[in-house]
Structure 1
Amino acid sequence: MAKNSDGGKRKPLKLKTGSFDRNAAMARMGMMAGASFATHTVGNLFRSKADREARNREFYVKQAQFLADELGQLKGSVMKVGQMLSVYGQYFMPPEAIEVLRSLQDDSPPVAWEDLEPVVIERLGRKRLDELEIDPEPLAAASLGQVHRARRKSDGRELCIKVQYPRLADAIDSDIRTLTNIVRLARLVPKGMELHSVMEEVREMIYREVDYDRELRMTREFGQRLAHDDRYVVPEVFPEYSTETVLVTSFEAADHVQSERVKNLAQERRNHLSESALELFFLEFFNWGIVQTDPHFGNYKIRINDDGKDQFVLLDFGATREFAPRFLGSYYDTVAGAFEGDQAKLIDGAIGINLLRRDSPQRVFDDFAKVGLLIIEPFRKQPPAELSTPDGRYKWGESDLFWRVSRAVQDAAISRWFRIPPREIVFLHRRLGGVFVLLSVLGAELNAHDLLAAYLYQENGRIRPDA
Structure 2
Amino acid sequence: MTDIPRRTASRTAKLAGLPLGVAGRAAAGFGRRLTGGDREEIAAGIAAKSAEQLFAVLGELKGGAMKFGQALSVFEAAIPDEYAEPYREALTKLQSAAPPMPMDDVDYMLTQQFGRGWKSRFAEFDETPAASASIGQVHRAVWKRDGREVAVKVQYPGAEEALRSDLRQLGRMSRILQPLVPGLEIKPLINELRDRMEEELDYRDEATYQREFASFFEGDPDVRIPRVVGSAPKAVITEWVQGRPLSSIIRDGSAEERDHAGNQLARFHYSAPDRAHLLHADPHPGNFGILDDGRLLVLDFGAVARMPDGMPPELVAMTKYALGGRDGDLMALMRSAGFVHDGARIDQEQVLGYLAPFTEPLETEEFHFNRRWIQRQAERVGDLRSPDAAIGRSLNLPPRFLLVHRVTMGTVGILCQLDARVRLREIVAEWQPEMFEPDAPTG
1:170-189 paired onto structure 2 within 5 Å: 170-183=161-174
1:202-351 paired onto structure 2 within 5 Å: 202-239=193-230, 242-257=231-246, 259=248, 267=256, 274-305=262-293, 310-323=294-307, 325=309, 328-351=312-335
Aligned-pair distance for 1:159?
Answer: 0.3
Aligned-pair distance for 1:181?
Answer: 3.2
Q: Deviations over 1:277-327 (max 9, x none)?
A: 32322222345542112222232222223xxxx322221111212347598
Q: Indicate the SS of the match to 1:291.
A: strand
Picking from 140, 152, 171, the partner of 1:149 is 140
Measured in 1, the distance between the counterparts of 2:438 and 2:354 equals: 25
1:401 aligns with 2:387: no
1:138 aligns with 2:129: yes
Aligned-pair distance for 1:131?
Answer: 1.6
Larger RCO of the pair (alpha carbons < 8 Å, separation 6+): 2
Q: Deviations over 1:7-55 (max 9, x none)?
A: xxxxxxxx98621233144235425633651563376267359845543
1:363-442 paired onto structure 2 within 5 Å: 363=347, 365-380=348-363, 383=364, 393-394=365-366, 396=368, 400-411=372-383, 412-413=388-389, 417-419=393-395, 421-422=397-398, 425-436=401-412, 439=415
Q: Indicate the SS of the match to 2:243.
A: coil
Please tell me the residue identity of whatever aligns with 1:20. R
Aligned-pair distance for 1:227?
Answer: 2.0
C-alpha contact 2:140 2:240 (8 A) present in aligned 1: yes
Aligned-pair distance for 1:68?
Answer: 2.2
Distance 1:220 1:353, change over 3 A: farther
Equivalent pairs counted in the alignment come to 427
Aligned-pair distance for 1:137?
Answer: 2.2
Distance 1:443 1:155, change over 3 A: same
Identity of aligned residues (%): 24
Measured in 2, the distance between the counterparts of 1:259 and 1:322 equals: 30
Aligned-pair distance for 1:215?
Answer: 0.8
Q: Deviations over 1:399-424 (max 9, x none)?
A: 84333333334344466724564555
- Structure 1: 5+ residue runs without aligned partners? 1-14, 384-392
1:110 aligns with 2:99: yes
Please tell me the residue identity of whatever aligns with 1:292. H
- 244-253 or 289-298, which moves further after superposition? 289-298
C-alpha contact 1:160 1:249 (8 A) present in aligned 2: yes
Q: Indicate the SS of the match to 1:47.
A: helix
Measured in 2, the distance between the counterparts of 1:66 and 1:262 equals: 23
Distance 1:272 1:197, change over 3 A: closer
Measured in 2, the distance between the counterparts of 1:254 and 1:97 equals: 28
Aligned-pair distance for 1:96?
Answer: 4.5
TM-score using structure 2 length = 0.79
Aligned-pair distance for 1:145?
Answer: 1.4
C-alpha contact 2:370 2:420 (8 A) present in aligned 1: no
Measured in 2, the distance between the counterparts of 1:178 and 1:264 equals: 37
Measured in 1, the distance between the counterparts of 2:47 and 2:435 equals: 48
C-alpha contact 2:29 2:42 (8 A) present in aligned 1: no
C-alpha contact 1:183 1:189 (8 A) present in aligned 2: no
Please tell me the residue identity of whatever aligns with 1:232. V
Alignment RMSD? 4.3
Distance 1:232 1:183, change over 3 A: closer
Please tell me the residue identity of whatever aligns with 2:223. Y
Aligned-pair distance for 1:202?
Answer: 2.4
Measured in 1, the distance between the counterparts of 2:146 and 2:250 equals: 31
Q: Indicate the SS of the match to 1:449.
A: helix
C-alpha contact 2:96 2:286 (8 A) present in aligned 1: no
- Structure 2: 5+ residue runs without aligned partners? none
TM-score using structure 1 length = 0.75
Q: Deviations over 1:308-351 (max 9, x none)?
A: xx322221111212347598121111211223232233334444
Aligned-pair distance for 1:165?
Answer: 1.1
Measured in 2, the distance between the counterparts of 1:256 and 1:198 equals: 25
Residue 74 of structure 1 is matched in structure 2 by: 61
Aligned-pair distance for 1:182?
Answer: 4.4
Q: Indicate the SS of the match to 1:147.
A: strand
Measured in 1, the distance between the counterparts of 2:319 and 2:418 equals: 24
Q: Deviations over 1:97-126 (max 9, x none)?
A: 897785574252331442323212222112
Measured in 2, the distance between the counterparts of 1:50 and 1:410 equals: 25
Measured in 2, the distance between the counterparts of 1:291 and 1:105 equals: 22
Please tell me the residue identity of whatever aligns with 1:80. K
Distance 1:300 1:32, change over 3 A: closer
Distance 1:355 1:87, change over 3 A: farther
Measured in 2, the distance between the counterparts of 1:66 and 1:89 equals: 16
Distance 1:438 1:348, change over 3 A: same
Distance 1:400 1:348, change over 3 A: farther
Measured in 2, the distance between the counterparts of 1:437 and 1:179 equals: 22
Measured in 2, the distance between the counterparts of 1:68 and 1:238 equals: 35
Measured in 2, the distance between the counterparts of 1:222 and 1:199 equals: 27
Q: Indicate the SS of the match to 1:432.
A: helix
C-alpha contact 1:332 1:349 (8 A) present in aligned 2: no
